[in-house]
Chains A and B, each alone.
Chain A
Amino acid sequence: MTELFGVPLAVLAGQVMIGLINGSFYALLSLGLAIIFGLLNVINFAHGAYYMVGAFVSWGLLTYAGIGYWPSLVLTPLIVGAFGALFERTMLRRLYGFDHLFSLLLTFGLALALEGMFRWIYGAGGKSYAVPPSLTGVYNLGFMVLPIYRAWVIVASLTVCVGTWLVIEKTSLGARLRAATENPSLVTAFGINVPLILTLTYAAGVGLAGLAGAMAAPIYQVSPNMGSSLIIIVFAVVVIGGMGSIMGSILTGLMLGVLEGLTKVFFPTASALTVFIVMILVLLLRPAGLFGKDK
């Protein structure tokens, strides 16, 4: 068997694959966080909870309504996004004038409440979600076996990430969004409805989290605490990358996922700590973050 650094290539490739999958989720979630932070100046602590809700919505659509994977890939982000829009309209909006800490605490409370509610209803155990028939099976790449669903998740989430980046950086809609961040009153004067933009941005950001949840459902167990453990790692990712750059958060997410996978091969016990250790190193060496701008 082929080996690299004394590790069978198949094992190495397998871990890189798992790393890429985790990295895709880090990227999707930190992208959403960055968009919301960029426009609303809010750290959405509930982002992980929306991801968890997304997974449950997808599972619920299948279990209660018999709606399958493909439709739910569209429906789930819409449902989660609508819930997010409602939350932004009724609660979050009222805090814009106050210290940032209050919006952080509000979304923190929401995260706790959602997690608690789902645990109350469904218990702490996980639900499984079958891989859709069209994506079952594997590709045999020779040096490794690649489950089709996992390949799909990586490709799909990267496409979504890059698509989002294109919309924000390269289109006139994106330009308007960025202008709204810089100078809300000026943009209002141009006849753009800023409050609506803020609501839609929040909805889009959490919709991305919902989509990530729907895609994660067939890979991980659908459980109430799947969001909170993930979001803390994503926060570390965000600290490492800095939230100033959309592409930066995508790249940082992927990179850290792969790094974490590789750590699992060489230092299995340290793999859960990888992201945090990188965060500490980055803070010590480059406090503003890899893609952050010095103020």
Chain B
Amino acid sequence: MAHRYKDFRPRLVSPMQSYGLLAVVAAVAVLAPLVIYPLFLVKVLCFMLFAAALNLVVGFAGLLSLGHAAFFGGAAYAFAQAAKVWGWPFEVSILFGVVVGAALGFAFGLVAIRRQGIYFTMITLALAQMVYFLAVQAPFTGGEDGIQNVPRGSLLGLIDLRDTITLYYVVLVIVVVCLLQIRRMVHSPFGHILGAIRENETRVTSLGLNTSRYKLLAFTLSAALSGLAGALKASAFQLATLSDVSWHISGEVVLMVLIGGIGTLSGPLFGAIFVVMIGHFLATSGLPVSLVVGLVFMACVMLFRRGFYGETVEYLRTRLLSGPQATPKADK
């Protein structure tokens, strides 16, 4: 008899409910630009992707990076350079941004993965600062002004992206595809190894796997997706600036993941919406963003370390799943 086992994962909502939720989310995503400023929505989408990409390493590989702005901002510069100066088409320029993000991520990973825990975090931060200094000095980045008036062009020469609503739908499709791919990746054969490394690295080593290589791949993939997010943002705002590579951005995206829930698939998406909204409202209020972001950071660490989404899920789990199927039979 052939044996087949289930991937045990407690469900909080029934399949019917989840299709319902999905339909609502899809409707909101499609209709949103009719109500809300589309460029703002594109920004939200880019940061959702960025946060989900960072979460891939923070949440699923247990590597806290404070240097992800380098991939985001580096790719933004790469896109702007390719699209404006070299005149490459939109999709090629975006791809170039992704490649630059991935290459930077690979290089960072090679150096940083040699140390663990807190040192890893400090190294990523320092390397990103190095990229920042390079961006300040390099001639092509335009110093304080950045690269401005980057043309958006058209997708495959067919769809004109100068219309922001069109751009929104294009970005929406790209981001959704990437988020689905991230989800698939987390559950993939590779994702399972990554989870095992996070749980007990020594044991994975004794199973004959070189854990550094898996971390490096995870880091590179995360950097590539962060690069995609940065390139898309640069295309939408037609601008690449120093602030995209600054450590504040690295901090903000960590906050998005933390607020939403480290290691949850949907949490960082909510975190991104929340943090981008804070920034948006503060822009007109005169309060400095970093003061508020800093305070939210502290409140989050002190009060809900699992994040909004993580805490909610935990609440629902204890509430809804207190029946016998909630926790698998214990060995007593």
Contacts and interface: CB of A to CB of B under 8 A. Distances in A.
B251 interface: yes
A186 interface: no
Interface in B194-208: none
Contacts of B295: 109, 113
A94 B295 CA distance: 17
Interface string A43-72: 100000000000000000000000000000
A234 to B, nearest CB: 9
Given A94-B302, A119-B288, A112 B122 contact: no
B288 A109 contact: no
Nearest to B137: A269
A173 B254 CA distance: 39
Given A104-B121, A105-B254, A283-B111, A276 B301 contact: no
A112 B282 CA distance: 15
A293 to B, nearest CB: 13
B293 interface: yes
B293 A100 contact: no
Interface in B172-230: none
B317 interface: no
Contact of B133 (A94, A95, A108, A273): A273
B94 interface: no
- Residue among A108, A276, A279 with most chain B CB within 10 A: A108
A116 B289 contact: yes
A109 B118 contact: no
A235 B297 contact: no
A237 to B, nearest CB: 9
A14 interface: no
Interface string A32-46: 000001000001000
B291 A120 contact: yes
A272 interface: yes
A239 B294 contact: no
- Residue among B123, B126, B130, B298 with most chain A CB within 10 A: B126
Contact of A276 (B126, B251, B300): B126
A100 B117 CA distance: 8
A283 B123 contact: yes
Nearest to A120: B288
Contacts of A277: 130
A146 to B, nearest CB: 29
A91 interface: yes
A114 interface: yes
- Residue among B254, B290, B292, B305 with most chain A CB within 10 A: B290
B88 to A, nearest CB: 28
A112 B251 contact: yes
A102 interface: yes
B259 to A, nearest CB: 11
B292 A116 contact: yes
Nearest to A229: B129
A239 B293 contact: no
Nearest to A33: B122
A184 interface: no
A46 to B, nearest CB: 10
B319 interface: no
A121 B297 CA distance: 21
A284 B111 contact: yes
Nearest to A111: B294
Contacts of B292: 116
- Residue among B251, B254, B288, B301 with most chain A CB within 10 A: B301
B247 interface: yes
B53 interface: no
B301 A287 contact: no
A106 B302 contact: yes
A232 interface: yes
Given A105-B297, A112-B248, A284-B111, A120 B118 contact: no
Interface string A224-240: 00001000110110110
Interface in B113-169: 114-115, 117-119, 121-123, 125-127, 129-130, 133-134, 136-137
Contacts of A37: 118
B294 A109 contact: yes
B304 to A, nearest CB: 11
B287 A276 contact: no
Contacts of A283: 111-112, 114-115, 123
Contacts of B254: 105, 108
Contacts of B123: 236, 239, 279, 283
Contacts of A117: 288, 291
Interface in A246-280: 269, 272-273, 275-277, 279-280
Contacts of A116: 288-294
B129 A232 contact: yes
- Residue among A98, A109, A272, A283 with most chain B CB within 10 A: A109
A123 to B, nearest CB: 10
A91 B137 CA distance: 39
8 contacts: A102-B301, A106-B301, A108-B66, A116-B290, A120-B291, A238-B122, A277-B130, A283-B111
Ranked 3 nearest A-B pairs via Cβ: A109-B297, A113-B294, A116-B291
